[in-house]
Amino acid sequence: MEKITRFGVSIEPDLLEKFDRMMKKKRYTNRSEAIRDIIREHLISEHVKNPSAEVIGTLTMIYDHHTGPLVDRLLEIQHDHYQEILTTTHIHIDHNTCLEVLVLSGKAQNIQKLADTIKALKGIKHGELVITQRSP
C-alpha cells in the first residue's frame, strides 16, 4: 500500500461550500479523494503542454461522409500517420453521418497537429481531442 502524507489546508468558508457541492455532484465520498483528483488533473494538464511529452488519447469526430473527398482524405491522413494511430472505430449514426474515434499515441505536438489537421477538413462537423500522459 502507498504511504499517505497528511497535510492541512486553510480555505475560506464560501470556497469550501462550493467545493463540497462540486464534490457531492461528482459523487466523491470524501474531500481527500477530490483534492487528489484535482492535483492529478492539474499535473497531467501541465505535462501534456510540453510539446515533446509522450501522450496517449483519442480524437472523436462527427462528419458527413458525403462531403466531397472527405473519406479519401481521412484515409490518406490516417495512412500517413500510422505511427501515431493505434486503432480506429467507425460508427454509422445515420445515412449521412459517421462517428469515428482514433486512439492516438506519440509526442504531444505531433498528436495536436494531427488532430488540428483532421478537424479542419471540410465536412468534419465536430472534433474533440482528449489527451493524457502515457504513464500518470
Question: What does the pLDDT look like over 7-59, one tens digit per residue?
Answer: 899 999 999 999 999 999 999 999 999 999 999 999 999 999 999 999 999 99
Please give the grid coordinates belonging to residue 127: 472534433
pLDDT score at 84: 97
Q: Identify the CA nearest to 114 among candidates 66, 55, 69.
A: 55
> Would you kindly state where each structural domain of the chain is located, as residue ranges?
13-48, 54-133
pLDDT surpasses 70 at 79: yes
Q: What is the pLDDT of residue 75?
A: 95
This prediction's pTM: 0.84
Residues 65 and 72: their CA atoms lie apart, in Å, by 10
Question: For position 1, what pLDDT does the model report?
Answer: 67
Would you say 52 and 109 are in contact if contact means Cβ atoms under 8 Å apart?
A: yes
Give the span between the Cα atoms of 120 and 127, in whole angstroms: 9
Q: What is the pLDDT of residues 30-40, one digit of tens each?
A: 999 999 999 99
Q: With 0-12 CB in 10 A as exposed, 13-18 as middle and 19+ as buried, what is 47?
A: middle
Alpha helices in the chain (DSSP H): 13-25, 31-48, 70-80, 108-119
By CB atoms closer than 10 A (0-12, 13-18, 19+), residue 111 is buried
Residues 73, 120 contacting (CB under 8 angstroms): no
CATH of domain 54-133: 3.30.70.1150
